[in-house]
């Protein structure tokens, strides 16, 4: 059983978390699609910007962080679909309805000498929960990680979201309690940048 260490948040280990046989994984994945009300996962395009922003705001409301969700459609157009996209988005749909989304980007492990995938946001709308759609989104990203030669697939979760923590552990992800995330933003970021000049 292989184990993929990471730099913070959660790590994914073992064959149940990162599938090492993509063809078999794809067969399982399509089987799940057929049994889950024709749930499908599509790469977002610029035409989906209003939807992506709506999903981000719904996620922020669920996380009790709505006042911090200041992104605009213009921001998403520039940073996700502009000349230099900084992240990717996939949308899970049932019929014509968006059931959820995942936003992710590549990071890098100097210890492994390989890229990784960092999951920034995973959200399934309340009406579509309990149907395995969140797991399908995670497995889709795990497949991308394997296909792209990544050594890690990682994300963070709010401490109070025990249901999500239990779900991730069931999939083989492990919390890394010996790491602490640091962040600078806003005026503090500007001050730090100014001191480097």
Which residues contact residue 83 at a Cβ distance below 8 angstroms, ignoring those fewer than 6 apart? none
Q: What string of H, E and C letters represents the secondary structure of the chain?
A: CCECCCCCCEEEECCCCCCCCHHHHHHHHHHHHHHCCCEEEEECCHHHHHHHHHHHHHHHHHCCCHHHCCCCHHHHHHHHHCCCCCCEEEEEEECCEEEEEEEEEEEEECCCCEEEEEEEEEEECHHHCCCCHHHHHHHHHHHHHHHCCCCEEEECCCCCCHHHHHHHHHCCEEECCCCCCCCCCHHHHHHHHHHCC
Whether 168 is a known active-site residue: answer yes
Burial of 29 (0-12, 13-18, 19+ CB in 10 A): middle
Task: Tell me the β-bridge partners of 92.
Answer: 41, 100
Is the CB of residue 97 less than 8 Å from the CB of residue 134? no
Residues annotated as part of the active site: 168
């Amino acid at each position: 059983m292989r184990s993929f260490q990471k730099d913070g948040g959660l790590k994914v280990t073992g064959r149940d978390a990162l599938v090492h046989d993509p063809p078999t994984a794809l067969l399982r994945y399509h089987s799940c699609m057929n049994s889950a009300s024709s749930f499908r996962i599509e790469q977002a395009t610029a035409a989906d910007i209003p939807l992506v922003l709506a999903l981000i705001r719904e996620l922020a409301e669920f996380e009790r962080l709505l006042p911090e969700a200041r992104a605009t459609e213009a921001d998403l157009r520039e940073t996700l679909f502009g000349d230099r996209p900084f992240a990717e988005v996939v949308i899970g749909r049932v019929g014509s309805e968006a059931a959820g989304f995942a936003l992710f980007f590549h990071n890098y492990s100097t210890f492994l000498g390989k890229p990784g995938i960092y999951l920034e946001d995973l959200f399934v709308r309340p009406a579509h929960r309990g149907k395995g759609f969140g797991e399908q989104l995670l497995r889709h990203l795990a497949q991308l990680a394997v296909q792209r030669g990544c050594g890690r697939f990682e994300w963070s979760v709010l401490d109070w979201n025990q249901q999500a923590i239990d779900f991730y552990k069931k999939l083989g992800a492990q919390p890394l309690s010996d790491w602490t995330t640091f962040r600078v933003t806003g005026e503090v970021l500007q001050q730090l940048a100014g001191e480097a000049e």
